Amino acid sequence: MASAVPEIVRSIDDWSTGMAATKIDKKASEDAVMRMTNNVKARVEVKSRRYDLPDDLHQDMASLQTTTTELLRQYWSTVYPPPPDQVLSVATPAQLAARAEKMIGYLEKTRSKVEQLLQKARLLGVDVARLEAIFQPTIQAVQKALTTHASRTGRR
């Protein structure tokens, strides 16, 4: 094993000399770049057809989904804090309750934001039923958080 190390080091040191001597055929390199470019172009086209949604609507949907997921994560972290060995900061029960209230305030607006997206989809001629199905799990998760909060606080 120890005798192999100097040989490996020599071969690594000599790689640049070998690379300098390599001649790349111009036509072959242009063909390779064209194939890679066409591959990327085809992947982008497939992706856009797969979603079959206008880019701005897709971005709005992704943004709403990401934001709502983060709000849910923050809400549930106030209800079910991490185990004591994973606590990064110490928040008082009052601080946790205030943060939960704040997250619930944002989550209560989710349904109207989804409705705005559905309206935008209608105007763009997109199948609204499909978007409703896409957002159904998110709406259910938000509803679960709202129901849980209401039962914990007596708020209806």
Amino acid at 134: I
- Within 8 A by CB and 6+ apart from 111, the residues are 139, 142
Give the pLDDT confidence score for residue 119 in this predicted structure. Answer: 97
If you compute the radius of gyration of the chain from its CA atoms, what whole number of angstroms results? 27
Q: Would you place residue 68 in the very low, low, confident or very high pLDDT band (cuts 50, 70, 90)?
A: very high
107 and 147 Cβ atoms separated by less than 8 Å: no
Classify residue 130 by its DSSP letter: H
Count CB neighbours of 76 within 10 A.
Answer: 16
- Segment 16-42, tens digit of pLDDT: 566 556 666 667 666 666 677 777 767
Supply the pTM of this predicted model: 0.66
